[in-house]
Structure 1
Amino acid sequence: MTMNVRTLAADRRRCELGAFLRSRREHLSPAAVGLPDGFRRRTPGLRREEVAMLADVGTTWYTWLEQGRDVRASEEVLIAIADALRLDAVERRHLFVLSDRPSPEVRSTNPEKLEEPVQRMLASLSGQPAYVTGRRWDILGWNRAATLVFGDYGQLSADERNLMFMVFANARHRRLLVDWEEVARASLAMFRNDSARYVGDPDFERLISTLRHRSNDFNAWWRRHEVLNPLSNIKRIRHPRKGLMVFEYTSFALLDGSDRKLTVYTPLDECRTADKLDALIASVRREP
């Protein structure tokens, strides 16, 4: 029974793949790929033999692929077909999913920023400290509650406004963390897992080199090559005005193809954290 279900699922996936390829082919004009329109096109779009020629594969083999036959395309061939059909990033990912292949990751090195809808979402979380981090764990945006609990990120330079730098090289932030060693070791292991996708990137290399020189703990633990997946956890803060505060924090990936994450801190009943946070927010509202 299990084998039949798997076989049916594989057949259905191949049919979906064939239909997707056919739809992209029919929506692509010959002029868009530098081919003449000709005078005998009975249907819109490219012909199968034209896609096969552009992708440098056999016409018969490509036809089988569109027909949903049991043929397997390598990663290189899928990339060639995606190029031939001028697929965008979302369509390429869909092509690889339907082909049951891991999508090749293209990591952006462009400057990161937050769109206005994300900024507004952060601001709306008035009772929960929250921030968005980028691929290198730079803090890209934050809300008022995060400033009141963790400090004003806007006063930090670009490289200093980074979670790893703050944990290992910012003395004030380190004093905030009651369980500093536990937090630091877990954070480093999660950062190492994320940074593996950017080995050799100059910005990552600069940050890691700086921290290895600034922090003996970072240098020693970095050499252990420990890795850890992101998780939800508890963070205890020793706030300079309100004393002990306890938060549960969770990170969410922004599903836009980037490596940006939203991290939200929920105040717990322990140590009257919610009341303390409300008092901090109210005190700012009373300031002239």
Structure 2
Amino acid sequence: MEKQRYKELGDFLKTRRAKISPSELGISEGLRRRRTPGLRREEVAHIAGIGLTWYTWLEQGRTIQVSAEVLESLSRVLMLNKQERIHLYTLARQALPTDIPSYQKSVSQILQHVLDNLLLSPSFIMDTRWNIIAWNKAASAVFADFRKIDESKRNMIKMMFTYDDYKKLFIDWESHAQGMLARFRSTIGHYIEDPWLTKIIEDLKRESDEFNLWWTRHDVQGNSEAYKKLKHPIVGELFFEFVSFDVSDNSNLKLIVNTPSLGSDTDIKVKSLLEHVM
């Protein structure tokens, strides 16, 4: 019976792997045609941060122990929905972390339409882990071309502390970064057992001296209204009023809107940037 359980686990991983297009994870498919659809085993193992041999054994149905951290990493790479994630944990005989939301890689057409119609307000939608999963053209023009950022790095906290081009936008980066970190800490208290959180925090401690220092302060801050002062390399100073909204039909998502400040010429500059990139 135990052998059948692990065979089922291996088959489940293989079918999920076959459903993911390499381009969805920012992997170039190259000129050579792939013999099989979806991701290769070595690609899954590499992105999930586990050994290829060990992952191969897992797909082969060998009776090996699987940690919650590995399951969470595989859930992310294979883009499992809530029910698939529950099934994966059940097969591996691991308790699903309490109240941790499932991964979401896109938004509805209606939400995207809302974003697209905030023409001069750089806006995006992020999940509870602060991953950016949707954005409008103004956000790409002002902050970064999110399409060119690997999905695993398209995270607001990670960008603020490790993406140099993004950091350089902020006139007072330290103040903005500390405020963002305090808001981030306030929102993750409900999911502190999330293996993904453990990993990104440890990664950021290694990658950013500032994060490592400020994280130990345990500062917290609510999602209050705020201002952003940027210095864009093309159009110069930009001033925004920043506010976030809960998405009514999905409490795991937040809509972040940056509105050009009254009395500034920011709206004119954003329009210029949009004409520049189109």
Tell me the TM-score normalized by structure 2.
Answer: 0.62
For these two proteins, the number of residue pairs brought into alignment is 181
2:171 is paired with a residue whose SS is coil
Deviation by residue 1:87-127 (Cα, 9 ceiling, x = unmatched): xxxxxxxxxxxxxxxxxx83323434211111111111112
2:162 corresponds to which of 163, 169, 174:
169
Highest RCO, 1 vs 2 (Cα 8 Å, sep ≥ 6):
2
CA distance, structure 2, for counterparts of residue 210 and residue 253 of structure 1: 28
- Work out whether 1:138 is the aligned partner of 2:98: no
1:265 is paired with a residue whose SS is strand
CA distance, structure 2, for counterparts of residue 110 and residue 183 of structure 1: 27
By how many angstroms is 1:282 displaced? 2.5
CA distance, structure 2, for counterparts of residue 161 and residue 130 of structure 1: 14
Judge conservation of contact 2:101–2:252 (CA < 8 Å) in 1.
no
| Structure 1 residue runs without a partner (length 5+) | 1-104
Partner of 2:174: 181
1:233 corresponds to which of 213, 216, 226:
226
Q: How does 1:139-288 map to 2 (within 5 A)?
A: 139-285=132-278
1:159 is paired with a residue whose SS is helix
Judge conservation of contact 2:100–2:194 (CA < 8 Å) in 1.
no
CA distance, structure 2, for counterparts of residue 192 and residue 149 of structure 1: 26
Greater Rg over alpha carbons, structure: 1
By how many angstroms is 1:202 displaced? 1.6
Q: Which amino acid aligns with 2:133?
A: L
Judge conservation of contact 1:248–1:265 (CA < 8 Å) in 2.
yes
Partner of 1:51: none
CA distance, structure 2, for counterparts of residue 174 and residue 128 of structure 1: 20
Judge conservation of contact 1:112–1:134 (CA < 8 Å) in 2.
no
User: What percentage of aligned pairs have identical amino acids?
Assistant: 33
| Structure 2 residue runs without a partner (length 5+) | 1-97
Q: Which runs of 4+ in 1 moved over 3 A?
A: none
Deviation by residue 1:10-53 (Cα, 9 ceiling, x = unmatched): xxxxxxxxxxxxxxxxxxxxxxxxxxxxxxxxxxxxxxxxxxxx
Partner of 1:29: none
Distance change (3 Å), C-alpha of 1:257 and 1:120: closer
By how many angstroms is 1:257 displaced? 4.1
CA distance, structure 2, for counterparts of residue 116 and residue 156 of structure 1: 22
